[in-house]
């Protein structure tokens, strides 16, 4: 009887390596606990506390991926799919909690909160199940259901409820599209600028949630910072269109 080969984990990694990998998975899974605390704050009517917890969840989501890749968590614990775990947590913190926020604090016209909330949950579930969420350069295909950024921003900016509804409808449509959005950490192109604007965006939300009074400069940042995301979308579309045009021109020239 031949001996069975030892597992990958046992031969390539020490117990300390395995414990470190489990710690990363625990960090990812803790996002659902943070999200629950945020949901409870929303249900109890504490909008600003809910925003703070959503920001904490977003920070956890931003740091666990790079750490997992650096430590080769997938290789160390092949029996647990970190990507699936991340998507489970993301659906809760990026869709369910923000939709509760949308409903609780009258961000859209009252009679539309149910339909738009259902739509957000529906398209977000479809996006989480996409097999083409990212391309080889780590650009997202479609709006990546980051409602934990959109809805708190609308609350803090205090736009007209009908304007908020239109914004939500547009992003629902973009969720199911192939319009590409940059991952602020993973996409190398202009990453420094992206991280700067993302930090300013989060910082302005956090400041307005904690300070509880209007600060014009901070409010302006909350408006300007997302414009960089829109600019990236336009630049990416223009770049791909130019590449396609050059490819078509070269094909005709060689033909």
Q: How far is CA 143 from CA 73, 134, 147, in A?
A: 27, 11, 10
Coil vs helix vs strand at 124: helix
Among 3-12, 117-126, 131-140, the range scoring the smallest mean pLDDT is 3-12
pLDDT band at 250 (very low <50, low <70, confident <90, very high): low
Class of domain 8-254: mainly alpha
Dist. CA 152–CA 147, nearest whole Å = 8
* pLDDT tens readout for residues 195-217: 899 899 988 999 988 886 777 88
Q: Is residue 51 packed enough to be buried (19+ CB in 10 Å), middle (13-18) or exposed (0-12)?
A: buried
Do the beta carbons of residue 56 and residue 33 sit within 8 Å? no
Whether 126 shows a pLDDT value over 70: the answer reads yes
Q: What sign does the dihedral 34-61-116-169 (CA atoms) show? A: positive
Whether 3 shows a pLDDT value over 60: the answer reads no
pLDDT band at 4 (very low <50, low <70, confident <90, very high): very low
Q: What pLDDT sits at residue 77?
A: 86
Considering the chain, what is the average pLDDT of its residues?
87
Whether 6 shows a pLDDT value over 60: the answer reads no
Q: What pLDDT sits at residue 249?
A: 55
Closest CA to 205 of 246, 148, 252, 131: 148
Do the beta carbons of residue 19 and residue 55 sit within 8 Å? no
* pLDDT tens readout for residues 21-72: 899 899 999 999 999 999 999 999 999 999 999 999 998 888 887 888 888 8
Dist. CA 187–CA 124, nearest whole Å = 22
Mean pLDDT of 154-164: 93
Q: What pLDDT sits at residue 232?
A: 87
Full DSSP string of 190-238: THHHHHHHHHHHHHHHHHHHHH-S--HHHHHHHHHHHHHHHHHHHHHHH
Mean pLDDT of 64-89: 87
Element (H, E) at 141: strand 139-141
Mean pLDDT of 161-178: 96
């Amino acid at each position: 009887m031949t001996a069975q080969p030892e597992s990958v984990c046992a031969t390539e990694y020490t117990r300390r390596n395995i414990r470190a990998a489990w710690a990363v998975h625990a960090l990812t899974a803790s996002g659902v606990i943070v999200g629950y605390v945020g949901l409870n704050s929303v249900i109890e009517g504490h909008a600003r506390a809910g925003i703070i917890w959503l920001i904490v969840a977003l920070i956890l989501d931003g740091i666990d991926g790079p750490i997992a890749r650096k430590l080769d968590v997938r290789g160390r614990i092949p029996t647990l799919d970190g990507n699936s775990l991340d998507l489970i947590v993301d659906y809760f913190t990026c869709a369910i909690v923000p939709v509760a926020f949308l409903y609780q604090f009258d961000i859209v016209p009252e009679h539309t909160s149910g339909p738009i909330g259902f739509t957000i949950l529906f398209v977000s579930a479809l996006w989480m199940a996409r097999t083409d969420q990212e391309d080889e350069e780590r650009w997202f295909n479609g709006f990546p259901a980051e409602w934990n950024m959109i809805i708190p921003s609308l609350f803090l900016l205090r736009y007209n409820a009908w304007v908020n509804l239109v914004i939500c409808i547009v992003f629902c449509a973009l969720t199911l599209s192939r319009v590409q959005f940059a991952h602020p950490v993973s996409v190398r192109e202009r990453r420094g600028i992206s991280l700067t604007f993302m930090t300013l965006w989060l910082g302005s939300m956090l400041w307005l949630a904690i300070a509880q009074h209007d600060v014009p400069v901070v409010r302006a940042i909350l408006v300007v910072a997302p414009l960089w995301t829109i600019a990236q979308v336009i630049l990416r579309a223009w770049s791909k269109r130019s590449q396609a045009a050059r490819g078509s021109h070269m094909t005709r020239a060689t033909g």
